């Protein structure tokens, strides 16, 4: 791994974890840290969350621009599979809740977890295919 | 697509790592090209052709079935 790649990866990791932290702060802050009536702090926390989220997206894009052609192919292929499966299963998940097939509430976090697992498995399969 | 990259690289006494650095790709990409698992982009193929002083079609053997 080149020094530039290491730097980009570290920045992406920092951006991702601070975004995860700010998501937790925005979700639980109004209940456990400040009063739910304090809309200013909640709005500020949400704004911080969005800014950190954008930083994460920009960092991810920088990593993609640093990939060479094979790495790019592996990641784009994995992203395509993840996007396709997420749309299909996400819709199925949502519909199954609407028609009462799900015994629990269809939460967005379940979709994010599903997408993460899809991306990880697709990456492993594609890496095995090309490397 | 079949290619003669490994043969040309060995004739020049280059390692995959060294060739990757000259061409500007990762060592894994050179390895995948040599094993016919991945076809390089046109700019990469041109860089290889320039390096080995060959025509692209002398390095990469195009088969319409690929």
pLDDT tens digits, residue range A15-45? 999 999 999 999 999 999 998 889 999 999 9
pLDDT tens digits, residue range B30-62? 999 999 999 999 999 999 999 999 999 999 998
Q: What is the ipTM of this complex?
A: 0.86
* Region for A97 from its dihedrals, namely left if φ exceeds 0, alpha if ψ lies in -120 to 50, beta otherwise: alpha
Enumerate residue ranges in chain A where pLDDT < 70. none
**Pick from B26, B31, B37: CB nearest A68:** B26
A69 and B25 within 8 Å at the Cβ level: the answer is: yes
- Taken in order of first residue, the domains within chain B and their CATH numbers are 2-53 (1.10.260.40)
Instruction: Give Cβ neighbours of residue A131 (< 8 Å, ≥ 6 apart).
Output: B28, B31, B32
Picking from A65, A68, A75, A123 by the largest number of B CB atoms within 10 A of its own CB, the best residue to mutate is: A68
B32 and A71 within 8 Å at the Cβ level: the answer is: no
For chain A, the structural domain boundaries read 1-66, 68-131
Question: In this structure, what DSSP letter does residue B23 have?
Answer: H
CB < 8 Å to A129, chain B:
37
Q: Check if the beta carbon of residue A60 is closer than 8 Å to that of residue A109.
A: no
Instruction: Give Cβ neighbours of residue B16 (< 8 Å, ≥ 6 apart).
Output: B9, B27, B30, B31, B34
CB of A131 within 8 Å of any CB in chain B? yes
Picking from B24, B29, B43 by the largest number of A CB atoms within 10 A of its own CB, the best residue to mutate is: B29
CB < 8 Å to A4, chain B:
none
Helix (H) / strand (E) containing B61: strand B60-61
pLDDT over 90, % of chain A:
79
């Amino acid at each position: 791994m080149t020094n530039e790649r290491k730097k980009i990866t570290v920045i992406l990791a920092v951006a991702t974890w601070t975004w995860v932290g700010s998501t937790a702060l925005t979700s639980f802050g109004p209940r456990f840290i400040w009063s739910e009536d304090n809309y200013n702090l909640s709005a500020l926390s949400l704004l911080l969350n969005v800014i950190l989220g954008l930083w994460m997206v920009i960092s991810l894009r920088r990593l993609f621009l640093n990939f060479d052609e094979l790495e790019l192919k592996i990641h784009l292929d994995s992203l395509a599979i993840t996007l396709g499966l997420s749309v299909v299963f996400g819709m199925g998940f949502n519909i199954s809740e609407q028609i009462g097939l799900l015994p629990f509430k269809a939460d967005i976090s379940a979709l994010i977890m599903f997408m993460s697992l899809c991306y990880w498995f697709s990456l492993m399969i594609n890496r095995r295919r090309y490397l | 697509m079949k290619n003669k990259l490994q043969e040309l690289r060995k004739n020049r006494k280059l390692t995959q790592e060294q060739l990757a650095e000259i061409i500007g790709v990762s060592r894994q990409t050179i390895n995948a090209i040599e094993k016919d698992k991945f076809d390089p982009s046109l700019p990469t193929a041109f860089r290889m052709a320039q390096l080995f002083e060959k025509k692209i079609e002398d390095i990469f053997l195009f088969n319409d079935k690929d």
